[in-house]
Amino acid sequence: MSLSFENISFRYKNCYPVKQSIFSNFSLNIQLGEKVGIFGKTGSGKSTLIKLITGEEKPQKGKILFQNQDIKKMKNLFENIAILFQKPEKQFVFPNIKDEIEFISERRKIFTQTLIYEFADKFNFPLKSYLNRNIYSLSLGELKLLQIILVLSLNKPYWILDDPFLFLDGDKIKVFKEILANINDKTILILSRNKSDFKGIIDREIMLTI
Ligand SMILES: Nc1ncnc2c1ncn2[C@@H]1O[C@H](COP(=O)(O)OP(=O)(O)OP(=O)(O)O)[C@@H](O)[C@H]1O
Ligand SMILES: [Mg+2]
């Protein structure tokens, strides 16, 4: 048991007009090395699940365990888990691309920066010429690509990817699919509306209903 949700019940306190539950007794165990897809319609709770992992929201019932430890008590959870947020504003700390790269590669500078440029090359993203740009001057697709490049380069053992193909064109999706299909040393959780996008990539799927 690697990452597990145990009998999670959750609803937003300010839910209007009805206090609708997003999760009722939701359980899921993700084993080490698995590639799991969680699919569901808009509003089914995919991004909410990530907020429960990060602690931005707390379940009213149940708990989330990482390697058998309650994540509430863990200080080093994000040394193991890299999250690609659906909303880019949740991803970036600095408005300037160079500052963001310096920041995320602080501890393992050369190693991380090498990976960043390797992933940028794979996606054919001209990162070097974008270094002095403000992230919000990028197109939506470019911003999403930069998010992906930085998250993958963190080289954490767990990848949680919320709506990973959002805003990407067909060529970039193809590159990303190849990366995801060929990687063998990561545990990957993908959240998306379109399960057909992840055929041949994931080992197991879970459907969320509204
Ligand atoms: N802070 C909040 N307060 C109240 N309701 C919220 C809050 N955040 C999200 N919701 C609602 O919870 C439901 C689930 O939202 P969530 O973002 O998890 O959906 P999703 O499955 O990720 O959808 P999408 O496919 O559009 O990304 C939605 O109806 C949303 O409006
Ligand atoms: Mg979402």
Name the residues around ion ligand 2, CB cutoff 5 A: 46-47, 86
DSSP code for 78: H
Question: Which tokens go with 201?
Answer: 């990539």
User: What pLDDT, on the 0 to 100 scale, is given for residue 110?
Assistant: 86
> Nearest CA to 64 among 8, 1, 142, 137?
8
DSSP code for 192: E
Q: Which residue has the tokens 């931005």?
A: 56
CB 110 within 8 A of CB 118: no
Nearest-atom index, ligand 1, CA of 192:
25
- Mutual orientation of helices 170-182 and 140-153 as an angle, nearest 10°? 10
Which ligand lies nearest the alpha carbon of 85?
2
Q: What is the best residue among 12, 85, 210 to mutate for testing ligand 1's pocket, by most ligand atoms within 8 Å of CB?
A: 12
Number of domain units in the chain: 1
Answer whether residue 18 shows pLDDT above 80.
no
Model's pTM, two decimal places?
Answer: 0.96
Domain range for 175 is: 3-208
Q: Which residue has the tokens 């880019």?
A: 88
pLDDT band for position 17 (cuts 50, 70, 90): low
User: What CATH number should be reported for the domain holding residue 12?
Assistant: 3.40.50.300
Nearest-atom index, ligand 1, CA of 49:
18
pLDDT tens-place string over residues 19-32: 689 999 999 999 99
User: What pLDDT, on the 0 to 100 scale, is given for residue 1?
Assistant: 60
User: What pLDDT, on the 0 to 100 scale, is given for residue 20?
Assistant: 82
Residue 175 CA to its chain's centroid (Å): 17
Give 83's strand partners.
160
Question: DSSP letters along 180-193, please?
Answer: HHH--S-EEEEEES
3-state secondary structure of 81: strand
